[in-house]
Structure 1
Amino acid sequence: MNLRDLSDAELAATLAVEAGRILKDVRETSGLEGKALGKAGDAAANAYLCEAVRAARPEDGLLSEEEKDDTTRCAMSRVWIVDPVDGTREYGERRSDWAVHVGLAVDGVATTGAVALPGLDDGVVLRSDVVEPLKPAAPNPRFLVSRTRPAKEAVAVAKAMGGELLEMGSAGAKAMAVVRGEAEIYLHSGGQYEWDNCAPVAVAQAYGLHCSRIDGSPLVYNREDTYLPDLLICRPEYADTVLGLVRGS
């Protein structure tokens, strides 16, 4: 397969799936556990993704969590933003709620992406060019929160809306749980970086979900400062209510 011949969306999905395969192989053959496993997996997946992106799209910029940032990307229109292992802790603990993110931002907007969930039995990959109808929402909204640090805004808004809190690992796993109909709202305010949500946002937007900062402003990518501390990904029918409650909290 010549990666250069693939569309952007096909490339994102192909790279996410292959990085997931590499990560599963490292987990199964390295004999490592915990932080050591996470570090080894990150290194292997990052090496593959960075080499593949540069070979397939040599004129584009690249931002990876696991590689020293070259801010010359900020002058480029097209920048690939990747997270080789989103949820390194969960990966190292051999849980299923971790992900691989391959996203493309064009002029600061998350336009194309793929999120692989290799830890699931079906090894699913969600992509911005292959979209299915959203499943019916639950009568009471389900909120996805961190296993260890639930966002105070999410806890407060869920209480106000009579919602249920669901704990889950990586940001990508949470975002894709909304896409997959396993929850309705992912409200996060505990700090993230561009690689944590670029690909998930591209996929979620393609499915028709609401994606923004928690003050309602747009999510902007390929900035010199890659810190992107908060976001809201939710069913569109809940967006105004959630944003209003956050403003009033």
Structure 2
Amino acid sequence: MKKTYLSFLTLIIVFCLASSVSAAATDNVPQEIKSAAEKGMEFFRSKVSSSPSDYGFASQEEANRAQLGEANELQYLVPEKIKNGNSLLSISKPSGHWEFIVTVDGKPKSFLVVGKEDGEYKVLEFGGNPNDFSQSTKNFEKLSLEKSGGSKVKPTILKVGNVRYLVGEINNREYLLSDISEGSGKAKFSNGVDNTKLVESKATLDFLKAVKENSEKIEGEKPIGGSGLEKVNENNYNVYLAAIPGLLIAGAAYAFYRYRPKAK
């Protein structure tokens, strides 16, 4: 009896800790976004449960234990600002899309993006492997503390294609790292920037300017702003599967779903 009571008490403690961590991680998220994400998790679990391995889950049971974790608002490039921009933050803007980390037992397992479409907040896409991004946030925190002399810097998440740049200002200079792991062979899509070093953003800014200039010279090539993922229609949702990596595109390890409104 005593052993059963202790096990039950342990479960309560674990649940309370998980709830407090989740709440703290989403304190900065607008309530309408959180509500849409919580509702969207029902759809997430149902879809992922039907084919767990495609999304990096070991089983249907594991998929059903998925929970919302930390969230960040994504920032996107503004193409017309790139040519004359003097920083990454000056050529981008908040998108209104919030990207949640989906966790199982506190460990990152997937992404879920919520934003406003058709006049209401809903899940716009989900899927992908968040492990490199999670490591990148830890690396950014550690490296920015060292470079700033102990001041905490919250990064802005700038998403270009499938590459996430963590960008922050330290001592009046703009620094960044990407969510691409060292040795993965994908750093060529971020101009050599991986998640192990915090570097000044100028080289990346020049890289994006060159990409923009070259894309305007080549008819039909639009590397900035594209997802690089192949669309396969399924009712109101599109299944996005990783396509051949293109310029600025790092490729996805798992399947993606993305919402698209029906044609009117």
TM interval, shorter chain, is under 0.3
Q: Return the index of the structure with the highest Cα Rg.
A: 2
Structure number with greater CO (CA < 8 Å, separation at least 6) is 1
| TM-score, normalised by the number of residues in structure 1 | 0.26
Higher strand share: 2
